A = this chain, B = another copy of it.
Amino acid sequence: MPQRLHSADTDFERHFRDLLAAKREASVDVEAAVRAILDDVRARGDAALIEYTQRFDALTLTPETLRVSAAEIAAATEATPPETMEALRFAHERIRSHHARQRPSDERYTDALGAELGHRWTAVESVGLYVPGGAASYPSSVLMNAVPAQVAGVERIAMVVPAMRGALNPLVLAAAAVAGVTEIYRVGGAQAIAALAYGTETIPAVAKIVGPGNAYVASAKRQVFGSVGIDMVAGPSEVLVIADGENDPDWLAADLLAQAEHDAAAQSILLTDSAELADAVERAVERQLATLSRSATARESWETFGAVIVVRDLLAEAPALADRIAAEHLEIATDDPDAVFSRIRNAGAAFLGRHTPEVIGDYVGGSNHVLPTARSARFSSGLSVLDFVKRTSILRLSADTLRALAPAAIELARVEGLDAHARSVAIRLNPGA
């Protein structure tokens, strides 16, 4: 059973703090091992990349077979049932059209003193997209990472995906095909991150690397950061469901289990003002667990990290608790969800109303499913077009405007003890003098 907390209890604050502080990920110290791999691939390029792929993925490659061929991608697409291809295309088009609204605008204006100010957004030149192998190899994630980069105008997207003993998930290739990603390499792990960051003879370096991965991939991304950009390092998934008593317990149970089935370290929290609903949801979870293919994972997550919080007044108490939880996914299952949502500051994505299961956002809502985990919604946002563009600020002065700005600049340079700063302005004030 998940833990049950009552906001009316005297020790609620202590229990709630413990819930927030619970470590859901074992910290694996792979830093030194990863450092050695990064250095080796940086120094020896393809040869090192191929050796590590042999060792870790039991796959023998040559520089010629590193890249997945167009024929393989076509074959994977052909092998994918039409209804799956249709679902991928439907998802792709919804994600594309939503993200197209996120393109930021350039600006250029002249202020009261005549200074021309502004900024210009440009796309990152090239992006590496990491796709995990194994159980976490999701075609939907290919779409969610590739589409914002494409909408941003990124000219080159290089995808890497490990192929254990040569096997690639055809759905991942099909999703890449739907997204129009054609540069795909069958490598993974820290060695793939090194190849993307530093380049090899076969794989040109990229400017930024995105996408989820295991502890080795996460450590590699952290270590190459600076040489290239990286996205956030995502932790296990989580959902906070805020619900009044007027909900179907089976619907909410399914939502809680949809997070729990991802990962034993996932976290599902129900926050309600109805103890009856809380009981009914817990019973529904037990019933539904019996028929899940990933029931062992889901049960472990639910029993270890799941929580049910019962409050007296939903509108008065839920927002402050939700802000402290700062959930990746926030469902609000009430008649007037905006009344609750408008009082909440911290959440990666909000799903409003009883007919908006978070799962729609995983696939076909249109918004991105790469979202801040582990309370990082307090300070960060989900993946968007903004992650694939960067801003150059612009300043342009006339001689007269420079004259108007000069005294303050020279004074500040003077008090900061920066003579050349002061001179760089002063010298332009009396040309020919």
Interface string of A324-338 (1 = CB under 8 A from B): 000000100000010
Residue total for A at the interface (Cβ-Cβ under 8 A) = 123
Instruction: Please indicate the chain B residues that have their CB under 8 angstroms from the CB of A424 in the complex.
Output: 251, 254-255, 257-258, 357-359
Closest chain B CB from A19 CB (angstroms): 16
Interface string of A252-296 (1 = CB under 8 A from B): 001101101110000000000000000000000000100111100
Instruction: Please indicate the chain B residues that have their CB under 8 angstroms from the CB of A363 in the complex.
Output: 408-409, 412-413
* Cβ A298 vs Cβ B88 within 8 A: no
Interface string of A223-260 (1 = CB under 8 A from B): 00010110001000000000000001011001101101
Q: CA–CA, A345 to B388, complex, Å? A: 13
* Cβ A87 vs Cβ B138 within 8 A: no
Instruction: Please indicate the chain B residues that have their CB under 8 angstroms from the CB of A380 in the complex.
Output: 229, 390
- CB < 8 Å neighbour of A207 from B115, B250, B378, B415: B378
Count chain B CB atoms within 10 A of each CB in A257, A377, A398, A427 and give the residue with the most: A427
Interface string of A173-214 (1 = CB under 8 A from B): 000000000000000000000000000000000011000000
Q: Which residues of chain A from 327 to 376 have a CB within 8 Å of any chain B CB? A: 330, 337, 341, 345-368, 371-372, 374, 376
Nearest chain-B residue to A386 (Cβ)?
A: B386
Instruction: Please indicate the chain B residues that have their CB under 8 angstroms from the CB of A171 in the complex.
Output: 415-416
Interface string of A370-405 (1 = CB under 8 A from B): 011010111111101010001111111111011001
- CB < 8 Å neighbour of A117 from B115, B367, B393: B367
Q: Does A78 contact B (CB under 8 A)?
A: no
Q: Does A111 contact B (CB under 8 A)?
A: yes
Report the stretch among A57-65, A68-76, A90-98, A304-312 that lies at the interface. Answer: A90-98
Nearest chain-B residue to A143 (Cβ)?
A: B412
* Cβ A391 vs Cβ B395 within 8 A: no
